[in-house]
Amino acid sequence: MNVHVRTEAGAGAAPIDQKAGEQTAPASTVRPGIETEQGHWSSNRYDTMDRLSRATLGRLTQGVSPNAIMAAMFDWSSHLARAPGRQLELAEEAWNLTAQLYAHAVMSVFGRQGPPPLDAAPDDHRFDHSGWSAPPFEYLKLQQLAAERWWSLATREIRGMSRSHSRRMNFVMHQVLEAASPTNNPFLNPEIIERTLKSNGSNLAAGAGNLVEDVGGKLLNGHAHRSGEFEVGRNLAVTPGEVILRNELMELIQYRPLTGEVGREPVLIVPAWIMKYYIMDLRPQNSLVRYLLERGHSVFMISWRNPTPDMRDIAFDTYRTHGVMQGLSAIDAVVPGAKVHLCGYCLGGTLAAITAATMAREKDGRLASLTLLAAQTDFAEAGELMQFVDDSQIAFLEDLMWDQGVLDASQMAGAFRALRPSELVWSRMVREYFLGERDGENDLAAWNADPTRMPYRMHSEYLRAMFLENRLSAGRYAVEGRIIALRDIRVPLFIVGTEKDHIAPWRSVYKAHLFTDVPTTFILTKGGHNSGIVSEPGRAKRHYRIGTRNPGDRYLDPDSWLPRSELREGSWWTEWDRWLTAESSERNVLPPRIGAPDRGLAILGPAPGSYVLES
């Protein structure tokens, strides 16, 4: 199977005819009797029939394997049936909760109401409206909270039960209870009832209009309503720059300097291809790219192409060879001999770590430092996404991608929304369809509504190598046929985790300390996976924790590190600027030229380029 990656302009980057993933695709991803040596799926009609059947079902379930859920249910129910002690505990808890709710209701009837026996968590805002504190709505709220507490206990791991099945059952029941919450019922939600009475039903009419608008947009354009307030190239991704390299996988943007002198070593940012690059370059006031330029750093950015079905066989390693490595070669043409500060965000950070380890193995000394932003190198504790990952689930997802060529953006977005249903699904439904309100769009929301797809082969290799088998930190990840080791990395590390990250939990990000022995600065910043990274100076209520580790220091686990770290107010961006400056060899050199026409790097067009505009 040949994947042709065409290069439009580049330093020493001629058109390539590569067997994508030939050396990085592990044996476990090649299924005997299904995939041939030529990379085409077997003509065995029975296998094809099975895969098509699963792919069709996958479209209906948004890629979620029914077997993964049924296996968890059977494991849980069979172990619970053989656990009389747990059954008695659950019966006792049900009795106690019922008695507490009944006593509270009786006391309320006689005007002797005390504090409620249950209360929502501080970050649970479903019941914030004052109507939920008065009968009869208070009793509905308490019943919901009691049910959630009981099921949380009921789905707790039982001795002998698979821990992943326990987590999955807890997740499934959480989804069911969230959907059944009285907050989602217009006849049981006091806020909706109050708004309807006050507005004579105009909120419901406006909500119906919002629903029609969203459904129509989904059918016609593939996405729900967008206000159009934010647009790439108009008020998003407007930092001046030029595309100096384009191949069939990415564009390389070189930003124009904003200072008369710069540091010797430029910064290359590798975003995740699960998202578009301009989260690093939103509006001018919260653009990380502009912030770096204003402080005298030269910045290059990879802008990944949004894959189409004909890119189905692009391998994971192709993103390294024709993304990061071609980018480094281009920078070497623009700034000959200069080392590079390599920075990767999310999945791009995992790729950057793999690239750095591979370069270290090959004694390629072109890196000055490595920065990982909300990026994991160990996936043993990879957060709530692990609830979706096992052999059955990945095989089911592979069949869906095999049929489609890609994992569609809407299918991927559904999995992320399921991690936070109260915030991203039900509360939005209540606001927009029952209260008749439209959420005000902001730049981050506009970026989030501009998703990308995942190529079939790449995503399959990534899920199996990282999430399922955790090869990178286990010393079993091969690049070009040979194992790489994170411990070979010899450049300083700057690592950022975010406090409320559902995708790359900070404790998982922190574990890079276990596999490296270089000067390391670790930042834990307020916010989530995206909002914690987009944390510009001057933004209210921002803080971060910082700690450093030197080579030879004893390992300190994350929970021990947390109370010993220094809490600082403000943005972590300032720390990164200081760190990059300290890791630069010279600070007062002239800005590099734009492109390198004499080295085959002509200017192909202005930033943000063409790939970011593809949908």
Of all helices (H) and strands (E), which one includes residue 471? helix 471-474
User: If you search the block for the tokens 């209009």, which residue do you land on?
Assistant: 209
Buried b (16+ CB within 10 A) or exposed e, 112-142: eeeebebebeeeeebbebebbeeeebbbbbb
φ and ψ at 518, to 5 degrees? -130, 165
Dihedral sign, Cα of residue 118, residue 119, residue 123, residue 128: positive
280 burial level (CB within 10 Å; 0-12, 13-18, 19+): buried
Please report which residue ranges of 530-586 form alpha helices under DSSP H: 558-564, 572-582
| CA contacts within 13 A on the Cβ side of 445 | 12
Please name which of 317, 318, 343, 299 lies closest in space to residue 248, comparing C-alpha atoms: 318
d(CA 318, CA 5): 9
Q: Is 346 a catalytic site residue?
A: yes
Spot the catalytic one: 334, 346, 512, 596: 346
Radius of gyration of the chain (CA): 26
Torsion of CA 290, 291, 293, 299, to 10 degrees: -80
Residue 37's contacts (CB-CB under 8 Å, 6 or more residues apart) are none
Residue 608's contacts (CB-CB under 8 Å, 6 or more residues apart) are 232, 233, 237, 238, 241, 253, 278, 281, 303
Please report which residue ranges of 529-571 form alpha helices under DSSP H: 558-564
Residue 56's contacts (CB-CB under 8 Å, 6 or more residues apart) are 403
Token output for 252: 């390389």
Q: Which positions are catalytic?
A: 346
